[in-house]
Amino acid sequence: MDRIRITGGKKLNGVIPISGAKNAALPLMIASLLTEDDLTLLNVPRLSDVSNLRRILGNHGVDIMIAGKRNGDDPLSGANVRLSARSISDTTAPYELVSTMRASFWVLGPLLARMGEAKVSLPGGCAIGTRPVDFLLMALERLGAKIDIENGYAVAKAPSGGLKGAEIDFPKVTVGGTHTALMAASLANGTTVIHNAAREPEVVDLADCLVKMGARISGAGTSTIEIKGVPHLRGTHHAVVADRIEAGTYAMCVAMAGGDVVLQGVKTNLLQSAFDVLTEAGVNIEQTNKGVRVSRNGNGLKPVNITTDPFPGFPTDLQAQLMGLVTLADGTSKITETIFENRFMHVAELSRLGAKIHLDGQSATIEGVPKLKGAPVMATDLRASVSLVIAGLAAEGDTTISRVYHLDRGFEQLEAKLAGCGAEIERITG
Ligand code: EPZ
């Protein structure tokens, strides 16, 4: 298993290109199931989650070409991925595949809408929380599906005339629920209105692509989305939106290590809440025509007090990174997690580097310390692992992170991007 070694204390200077968003690329790839035509996605990141989804879609009969090659290696950075679901050969998504990545459960909506039936394994629990799928099932049931849970699978059937438009009111904002409802309702008969819809940029990106495919969607990016179902969708070309979580993560790397870096290809409006928090912490953030410039030179970090929330609030996917950053703030910070019940696995590992963090239920109080000291630490999930990278960039001596396969799920060329700006970071293979 690979490890990453960081020798702390180097400032970051230069340019970091921001990749296409993992959390947009995944639902966009799944949307290929909705049409017989080719869907070509540009700017798809090279990540293990993308490779896993490739296998899952391949199992349904989707033909996938990456940078012009079929069954080639993982996509090159920013590769074009052409997905052709001309015919769906299998409407079952087996446990062995779904359990590798939760988002693959989202194939249920499009398979049901196009084929009238689907059998998809329930994904089970996850390191950051129980993460149920009840809202997704409820949304499809509102569209007329009959769903039974049998032997760990959701077995779904559409009514004989196909799914029917309906009012869907989510009790809590759900990104996956909104993606599912958007995709299924696009091919339903009649009009669907999603209330309390997720407003995340990745939802807007999916809606934009579906509209290019012929869907009739309005209101994406607000909490009420209306979808007028159409009988068929067609193929299109679509560039995946920039990864705001990757951008926010590198912004925190610069904030931690000090220096001056342009995050290329991203705009502040994708991540205003996090940039506002960084500004409050004493980091300079500036929109330039090349991207977002992040700098901190000399001045100390101020403590912050944040609560995670759905977009446009502070994202749960940056909570661990912010915690890593404020371990060195001049004062006491408070971070409250409201989205997932078990998203504090990084606390114990950050403590191994000398951080002073006290957990009380869903809130963490972080008392800033003057310095961290490098140590061997273990990655526990995607975002938790990168908080250790952030801490390692400023820790005295070497920090070695094991189980970096978590990082490879969501950060494309992390070591190369940081090393390119002067960080002393290397991957130790094997
Ligand atoms: C998406 O997960 C993201 N994943 C997550 O990113 C992200 O943390 C999350 O949205 C919140 O922003 C992808 O896009 C692939 P939700 P999702 O449905 O859709 C509860 C990362 O690190 N809920 O918005 O699964 C749920 O438990 C990941 O990249 C139900 O109760 O999240 C949570 O408390 C991790 N029942 C809340 O809603 C349901 O049926 C929001 O979850 C569905 C969700």
Measured at the CA of 340, the angle between CA 17 and CA 137, to 5 degrees, comes to 100
Q: pLDDT band at residue 430, thresholds of 50, 70 and 90?
A: confident
Q: Distance from the CA of 362 to the center of ligand 1, in angstroms?
A: 17
CB-CB contact of 423 with 391 (8 Å): no
Tell the residue nearest (CA) to atom 21 of ligand 1. 317
Q: Where are the beta strands (DSSP E) in 122-209?
A: 146-150, 153-157, 167-169, 191-195
**Model confidence at 298, in pLDDT bands (50, 70, 90)?**
confident
Ligand 1 centroid to residue 58 C-alpha, Å: 24
**Ligand 1 centroid to 11 CA: how many Å?**
34
- Phi, psi of 223, rounded to the nearest 5 degrees: -85, 0
CB atoms within 10 A of CB 51: 17
Residue with tokens 């230069």: 14
Q: What lines the ligand 1 site, CB under 6 Å?
A: 23, 26, 103, 129, 131-136, 172, 174-177, 316-317, 339-340, 382-383, 410
Is the pLDDT at 69 greater than 80, yes or no?
Answer: no
Structural domains in the chain plus CATH codes = 3-18+242-428 (3.65.10.10), 22-239 (3.65.10.10)
Quote the pLDDT of residue 1. 84
State the burial class of residue 295 (Cβ atoms within 10 Å of its Cβ: 0-12, 13-18, 19+): middle
Neighbours of 429 (CB within 10 A): 7
> Could you give the residue numbers annotated as active site?
126
Report the distance separating Cα 393 and Cα 395, nearest Å: 6
The ligand 1 atom at the shortest distance from the C-alpha of residue 103 is 15
Length of the chain: 430
Q: What is the pLDDT of residues 193-244, one digit of tens each?
A: 999 999 999 999 999 999 999 999 999 999 999 999 999 999 999 999 999 9
Read off φ and ψ for residue 191, nearest 5 degrees. -100, 135
6-20 pLDDT, tens digit each: 999 999 999 999 999
Ligand 1 atom with minimal separation from the 135 CA: 40
Pocket test for ligand 1, best of 98, 175, 342, 385 (most atoms within 8 A of CB): 175
Please enumerate in sequence order all residues whose Cβ is within 8 A of that of 408, keeping only pairs 6 or more positions apart, or say none. Answer: 47, 48
Q: Cis ω on the peptide bond leading into residue 171 (within 30° of 0)?
A: no
Question: Whose alpha carbon is nearest atom 27 of ligand 1?
Answer: 131
The DSSP letter of residue 30 is H
pLDDT at residue 76, rounded to an integer: 53
Residue 77 has pLDDT above 70, yes or no: no
CA 184 to centroid of ligand 1, rounded, Å: 18
Tell which one of 50, 136, 174, 311 to mutate to probe ligand 1, the residue whose CB is within 8 A of the most ligand atoms.
174
With residues binned 3-state (H G I as helix, E B as strand, rest as coil), the percentages for the chain, rounded to 5, are: 35, 30, 35
| Cα(306)–Cα(242) distance, integer angstroms | 24
> Among residues 54, 45, 49, which one has the least CA distance to residue 76?
45
Alpha helices in 282-399 (DSSP H): 319-326, 346-352, 382-394
Residue nearest to atom 17 of ligand 1 (CA): 176
pLDDT digits (tens, 9 = 90+) for 141-160: 999 999 999 999 999 999 99
For the entire predicted model, the pTM comes to 0.97
Choose the residue to mutate in 339, 362, 380, 381 for probing ligand 1, maximizing ligand atoms within 8 Å of C-beta.
Answer: 339
